[in-house]
Structure 1
């Protein structure tokens, strides 16, 4: 037992609160309407401890009784720091899965690595058999190419021209408008970002499953993506991240034409809506945009768990697939609605006036960021020592 306090800089907090993280997971679980449809599909979920991956996990467990394996790469407790927030969230999710009667195993490993792929697929083959759904929701700053051993680092930069735009900053929890300026990426940086965040690793997982005979009849794989507004496009969709996302989408088409051809399966990218995640907070201007969007939508801003429920409805056939002209599953219609975007554009034109007139979006955003690490969660007593040594869920 020890006392812990949030420590960090900017949007990055290095100490997590185990009970706060568990409370966040429990709140998401309770927000998902249970519905046992008896399907119990076998799922391999890559990136199961945070963001959309966690939401897909919880919605699948609670509504469809999924079984299978979730992979995440999280840090254990040290003398100086608590375990990572994802470590504590995984422990909480595993407890809920066990209570719900789900046969689900959690693996802590670098999913980019060849050894991790082999050991995870050994587990899948021995315990679960063919996989119905592979959900790819990995977000990481670096990746080691298993074929060459080269370590690639992703960058968040525009392509072609420098990017300058308003940003959101907090001083003593008070929001203010700042500015960000980023130089254009080099060709090497663009290629490295695509190596990390593109579809190469996704394809390796699908090929590995196929090579082991682990694709179930009707196999479907999806990779999570984002498009967003033209307001943030220069640093996102038209930048290095966008180049990686385009490669992800091209990979879906390639998989459908090769390893999944002839009715073997199908691959889609999923365009989700805006969300406050540990990955998204690192992208300049996204914080301001998301805060303004929340201020416009209020409670109509769709949480990750609501979007995950919608995704599972489409994947299981309960609802028809909502595809765009490029064959991508779209979950972001609520965000990209033209009337909503017009209101956000008007606020973006003078963000200082927007924040002065309405701070609801920025307050919500800061609460969401702190909750990512288990802080400021209602009902949690932060004034007493807490048990920070939590074991990773056993197989």
Structure 2
């Protein structure tokens, strides 16, 4: 067994290694932060499929589903195993920790590692539902962020890009040097060109979500009243040019259009429902790659402090709505809104004022930098309270294997 002392090594917001014990403790902390249910369902619990279960809001959906809704079923992610030179990805270790929690809670959750875009994975999941879970799926949560997708029908590989549409966008952004010293800089992102929009929509839009529904419905595996939610984000006007009005925003609009199509179809055939769930801002591995989002999130935390709602609490609220514990609250576009705490006029005005004033010299007084920097490290299992980072730790943690 490989054991060593791990210290954070990073290039910007990207870390080269992950800490198994820190990732394990992070997942345990998420479990503690998730509210207890009023009561769990009787029997084995509903069967859920969470696609993109190892990071960000997909991880929050998995943990909250286990604790709040008592789900069993299948969780799909795409992570890298440890090697002689590198640790596993953080999502690998988070998955192992989530599997331990599921076993402790007495929930039968099977974790699969592979390409969720592929028909091979869809077949494997369908076989498991049929053979292990009685041939009925009750819920599907879709939370996939990826740089590329290969279309199983055509074999064409599409690549997503983070670009504004129409013209270049210049925005402030937050960076840290190797010593963790913050700076506010301006970056310019050139506009989408050629088929950038279509490529991004092909990866991040609703095509694969709908393909999952088609595949499982074709196998007769969707239960009466089946409900599905794809996780999304709208965000602030401050980041709209690069996000909601950019190529990713076009993909999110396609995702929402897909939800409306699926909702009509599932309602007619199964008395079911499809929605998008618009979540609030959070520090995730995906969000830190978007220009301006790091600065915005740090300023938002500076305004809200502890009132910033963590992902696991947001997803607990989503599970309540999907399971009927709480009424399904939709906006005029048919979306579940878990971001209302972020987008009030007062909060946005306060963040906008700080954004305007933000410079390298002023940022420490305007944003919660300690919190943000810590959150970035926690994505990889570092800076987690209660973990001894001077101790050796085993890095070759196995992928969880389901019990027979």
Band the TM-score falls in, shorter-chain normalisation: over 0.9
- Asked if residue 210 in structure 1 is aligned to residue 212 in structure 2, the reply is no
1:113-167, Cα deviation, whole Å (9 max, x unpaired): 0111111110111111211111001111111111111111110000001000110
Equivalent residue, structure 2, for 1:19: 21
Higher mean Cα deviation, 378-387 or 201-210? 378-387
- 1:51 corresponds to: 56
With over 3 angstroms needed to count, the CA separation of the structure-2 counterparts of 1:177 and 1:33, relative to structure 1, is same
Stretches of 4+ moved more than 3 A in 1?
Answer: 257-260
Question: Which residue of the partner structure matches residue 126 of structure 1?
Answer: 131
Cα offsets for 1:66-123 (capped at 9, x unmatched): 0100000000001111000000000000001101101111111110001111111101
Indicate the larger mover: 294-303 or 377-386.
Answer: 377-386
Deviation per residue, 1:170-193 (Å, 9 max, x gap): 122121101110000114111111
Instruction: Give the root-mean-square deviation of aligned CA atoms.
Output: 1.2
Q: Distance in 1 between matches of 2:29 and 2:349?
A: 32
Say which of 261, 283, 303 aligns to 1:254: 261
SS at match of 2:117: coil
What is the match of residue 242 of structure 1?
Answer: 249
1:57-206 aligned at under 5 Å gives the runs: 57-128=62-133, 129-171=135-177, 172-206=179-213
Q: CA deviation at 1:379?
A: 1.0
Once residues 188 and 13 of structure 1 are traced to their aligned partners in structure 2, the CA distance between those partners, rounded to angstroms, is: 31
Please give the alpha-carbon distance, in whole angstroms, between the structure 2 residues aligned to 1:379 and 1:262: 50
Worse-matched range after superposition: 185-194 or 323-332: 185-194
Consecutive unaligned residues in structure 2, runs of 5 or more: none
Structure 1 residue aligned with 2:235: 228
**Partner residue, 2:365:** 357
Distance 2:340 2:24 in 1: 30
Residues 163 and 192, structure 2, Cα contact 8 Å, conserved in 1: yes
Contact 1:347 1:354 in 2 (8 A): no
Are the equivalent residues in 2 in contact too, given 1:167–1:179 (CA < 8 A)? yes
Contact 2:137/2:222, CA 8 A, preserved across alignment: yes
**1:376 and 2:383 are equivalent in the alignment:** yes
Contact 2:69 2:320 in 1 (8 A): no
Count residues with an aligned counterpart: 394
Superposed counterparts of 1:336-355, under 5 Å? 336-352=343-359, 354-355=362-363
CA contact (8 A) 1:207 1:259 kept: no
Tell me, in whole angstroms, the C-alpha distance in 2 between the residues paired with 1:33 and 1:262. 34
On the 8 A contact 1:193/1:241 being kept in 2, the answer is yes
Q: Deviations over 1:202-222 (max 9, x none)?
A: 000001111011111110010
CA contact (8 A) 2:259 2:275 kept: yes
What's the CA shift string for 1:245-303, capped at 9, x where partnerless?
Answer: 00000101121234653444211011000011111111000000000000000000000
Q: Give unpaired runs (5+ residues) of structure 1.
A: none
Report what 2:280 is aligned to: 273
CA distance in 2, matches of 1:185, 1:43: 37
CA–CA distance in 1 between the matches of 2:69 and 2:386? 29
Shift of 1:33: 2.7
Question: What is the rounded CA distance, in whole Å, between the counterparts of 2:362 and 2:126 in structure 1?
Answer: 51
**What is the SS of the residue equivalent to 2:275?**
strand
Change (3 A) 1:328 1:187: farther
Aligned-partner Cα distance in 1 for 2:323–2:271 = 17
The answer to whether the 8 Å contact 1:158/1:240 transfers is: yes
Q: Equivalent residue for 2:318?
A: 311
1:8 corresponds to: 10
Q: Secondary structure at the match of 2:324?
A: coil
Deviations 1:199-244 (A, max 9, x none): 0000000011110111111100100000001110000000000000
Aligned to 2:32: 30
